[in-house]
């Protein structure tokens, strides 16, 4: 589809991308189902190898969202029960090294220090992490699954789809938080979604309007400048 490129279109696209942040406190204001459908429809324009479109989305609102949150929170709060749950796939490296570990620590401490959570305050850390499982108060919880038969390439495609959702949400004044935290409780999620064994949970995502009063939503994460991760061969 031709797109007339003007300074306004460039600015609008850049603003939708650059204004996306992981929001960790939402207003309870409902998001109309039609808006969620529009976002998912446009996001599905994401490319995928040979147009395989590997994404499957489960939209949770109201009672089903509440029921899932409650069961995961109960499992998370019970130290013994929690150990019975583990991720199905490795999102993070088993061996951390610089610069990744430094960046990981920095974003963690930046968030906790905004919230006034000290390094030894395990109770408040637990409570903050727990907010993941309440979708940070968002009225829409998205769960993503993929068929196990699909390979690494489809996970690349999936990432593009997820980013499209987050950018399309920005275009409508909405915010998101992609969430790997849910993966630990994939068995509970699979049961709530009645997922067949042939599918696995990819991650979750909160969607809604950001709470403008929440201090955690002022977190602005850093990025390397282009010179730090690019080399031109010319």
Residues at the contact surface with ligand FMN, assessed by CB under 6 A: 21-22, 24, 107, 132, 177-181, 203, 221
Q: Say if residue 23 is exposed, middle or buried (CB neighbours under 10 Å; 0-12, 13-18, 19+).
A: buried
Contact (Cβ atoms closer than 8 angstroms) between residue 25 and residue 136: yes
Give the shortest CB-74-to-ligand FMN separation in angstroms: 18
Q: For residue 192, give the nearest of 36, 1, 41, 64 by alpha carbon.
A: 64
> From the CB of 233, what's the least distance to ligand FMN, in Å?
29
Q: What residues are paired with 207 via a beta bridge?
A: 140, 176
106 vs 148, beta carbon nearer ligand FMN: 106
Query: For ligand FMN, which is the closer residue by CB, 69 or 179?
Result: 179
To ligand FMN, the closest distance from the beta carbon of 211 in angstroms equals 15
- Structure tokens, 98: 């610089």
Residues 174, 31: Cα–Cα separation, whole Å = 9
Q: Which two tokens stand for residue 59?
A: 């939209």
Q: Least distance in Å: CB of 101 to ligand FMN?
A: 14
Nearer to ligand FMN, 20 or 199 (CB): 20
> Taking the complex as a whole, how short is the minimal distance between the CB of residue 170 and ligand FMN, in angstroms?
12
d(CA 36, CA 43): 10
Q: Judged by CB, which is closer to ligand FMN: 132, or 164?
A: 132
In DSSP terms, which residues pair with 26 in a beta bridge?
210
Q: Which residue is nearest to ligand FMN (CB)?
A: 181
- Of the pair 10, 221, the CB lying nearest ligand FMN is at 221
């Amino acid at each position: 589809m031709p797109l007339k490129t003007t300074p306004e279109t460039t600015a609008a696209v850049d603003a939708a991308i650059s204004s996306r942040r992981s929001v960790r406190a939402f207003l309870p204001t409902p998001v109309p189902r039609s808006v969620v459908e529009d976002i998912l429809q446009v996001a599905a324009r994401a490319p995928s190898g040979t147009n395989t479109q590997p994404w499957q989305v489960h939209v949770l609102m109201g009672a089903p969202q509440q029921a899932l949150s409650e069961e995961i929170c109960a499992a998370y709060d019970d130290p013994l029960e929690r150990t019975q749950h583990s991720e199905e796939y490795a999102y993070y490296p088993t061996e951390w090294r610089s610069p990744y570990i430094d960046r990981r620590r920095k974003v963690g401490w930046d968030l906790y220090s905004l919230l006034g959570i000290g390094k030894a305050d395990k109770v408040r850390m637990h409570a903050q992490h727990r907010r993941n499982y309440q979708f940070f108060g968002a009225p829409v919880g998205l769960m993503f699954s993929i068929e196990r038969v699909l390979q690494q390439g489809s996970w690349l495609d999936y990432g593009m789809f997820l980013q499209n959702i987050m950018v399309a949400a920005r275009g409508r004044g909405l915010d998101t938080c992609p969430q790997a935290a849910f993966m630990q409780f994939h068995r509970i999620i699979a049961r709530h979604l009645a997922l067949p064994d042939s599918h696995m949970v990819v991650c979750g995502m909160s969607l809604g309007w950001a709470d403008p009063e929440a201090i955690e939503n002022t977190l602005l994460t850093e990025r390397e400048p282009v010179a730090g991760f690019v080399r031109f061969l010319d």
